[in-house]
Structure 1
Amino acid sequence: MAQIGNITLPDFPLLLAPMEDVSDPPFRAVCKANGADLMYTEFISSEGLIRDAAKSRQKLDVFDYERPIGIQLFGSDVESMRESAEISTLAGPDLIDINYGCPVKNVACKGAGAALLRDIPKMVEMTSAVVKATHLPVTVKTRLGWDDATKNITEVAERLQDIGIQALTIHGRTRVQMYKGDADWTLIAKVKENPRIKIPIFGNGDIETPQKALEYRQRYGVDGIMIGRASIGYPWIFREIKHYFETGEILPPPTLQERMEVCKMHFTKSLEWKGERLGIFEMRRHYTNYFRGLANFKPYRMRLVQTESPEEVYNILDEVAGSLVYAD
């Protein structure tokens, strides 16, 4: 069993990565139903929470069926992060996670996310403030370093553990790499093998098949794996990895009927959480992912992204399941 503070997770848990504009409650619901063991909210701006911005506040929504669930925060100001940790604690998550890994310009260039990898003393100060601001376990997600010349993850792991974080997720790229090239898990393994490190170390980056998940589990010795992009439109990745771990067998891909049913579940949750207008609009980005690899899907997709009727969306999805086949 993996332990994060008072949270007990299965042996070698599978974590759903916090992804901006993806990891909302509707998406988390379908991932949880398909085997995700620990999930996080989209990252939330500490400044937005303090300003009471509606979008930031809505991201605090967590539901009992999602547990254990963490709220992820990012920011560049220590006091704002401390205050946002207090606000987030009141929302009732199971843990608070700090984002020191986001590489995008409008985050990193404002001194937040991966930018803190260039200022370790400030990262330590900020983390300490968050740990002291909540009774919940605090975890961190970060990268190997800012660039190839500053891969300081070993120092980061030791110093953050020393001030009280309960787990660390490491994405195997630098900030400069963004999402290009292959993730390098050798430094993640080095952190895990460090005799000073006692907290769980989770690896992240490039896990898109059950075979690769098992290979990296065995080769790098991490305590669990965080999955991001491979789960978009394919929440079955979690159950497929678990089945492969247990049996050595590759599950057959989801049937067209299963794809339709999970897409419907995602859509229904989207309507419930966002309301009809926004629920229909924001679901449009997901259809292509759910039905990737299907011949002649394009006409159905065009109808799905044009309709403003929930009933018509359900009807079109029923049509898809009854008429399409996988492309060769």
Structure 2
Amino acid sequence: MRSIEARGLTKEFKVYQSRPGLKGAFRDLLNRQYRTIRAVDAIDLTIEQGEMVAYIGENGAGKSTTIKMLTGILQPTAGELKVNGFDPHREREKFVKTIGVVFGQRSQLWWDIAVQESFRLLKQVYQVPDADYKQRLDRMIEVLDIGELLDQPVRKLSLGQRMRCELVAALIHQPKLLFLDEPTIGLDVLVKENIRVFLREINREFGTTVLLTTHDISDIEALCSRVVMLDQGKVIYDGGLQELRRNWVKGKKVHFELAREVDMSELEARTAGMPLRWERKGERQVVLHLEQPDLAVSDVLAQIVQHVHIVEMQIEEVSTEEIVRKIYQEGMTLA
């Protein structure tokens, strides 16, 4: 069974539009004007059981609206939607038992009671058997290292401590699908890595599907092999992370430290006809810009290594963050 299957998923909002000036304000009292905003525009999205997918886009692209429809908070204006085999809005009572949700800016734990009391309440809500509850909780307490936090009220936890507890709360009933919205926002590097390791483990062990929305590109690179990119309510890219890199990385940079100062014209002459560009960075430091991804560094080295002594070489890979920024700046459709 597919975790998510959406066809033509659309959400429109009716927004009040005020007219300028005092006269316009009086007119608005008698006859208000509205305009329709299409936040999500007929998107198709299929996610198989066990996939870890990044759902990304700039602010206002429609990510949060999509997540609210997928979790049953909002009803679509148009289109077909099944999540874990249910209609999220119409079959909400059965549906919510199959999903877990972690929002970086919101808490599902009770603020003034001990963490473990929140867990017990959620156990009752989801009707988790005692044996299953103890086994799952013990495992998550150990992996996420929250044993010392169980007796503390949630309001006394740091952000990193609370996020680890939020993950436990979302997974107590072992959902088939986990929604993560900025799960590592504001966390230090060590806590982020612990959470990523834990998420990879539950995905591998239980086949939990993960849909991740984040602005932290390192989360995507650590967890997801597939990226769905949204812009102005439309899907502009849906494919592999490595494919995204291949299609959008036009070349790479190679930093060289040379044994002696070499005239740039000598380097240009020895690599004439190749799709590349040389740049001087210091007396003995130069940068090679490869203009095409199919040009190998070894091909360039073969032309210069017999004539120029290279002390050190470092290849600079283009980050996923740079690729995503470039896509949005160029505004090109990939789908």
Question: When the two structures are superposed, what TM-score results if normalisation uses the length of structure 1?
Answer: 0.35
Question: When the two structures are superposed, what TM-score results if normalisation uses the length of structure 2?
Answer: 0.34
- More contact order relative to length (CA 8 Å, sep ≥ 6): 2
Q: Which has the higher helix share?
A: 1
Q: Which has the higher strand share?
A: 2
Of the two, which has the highest radius of gyration? 2
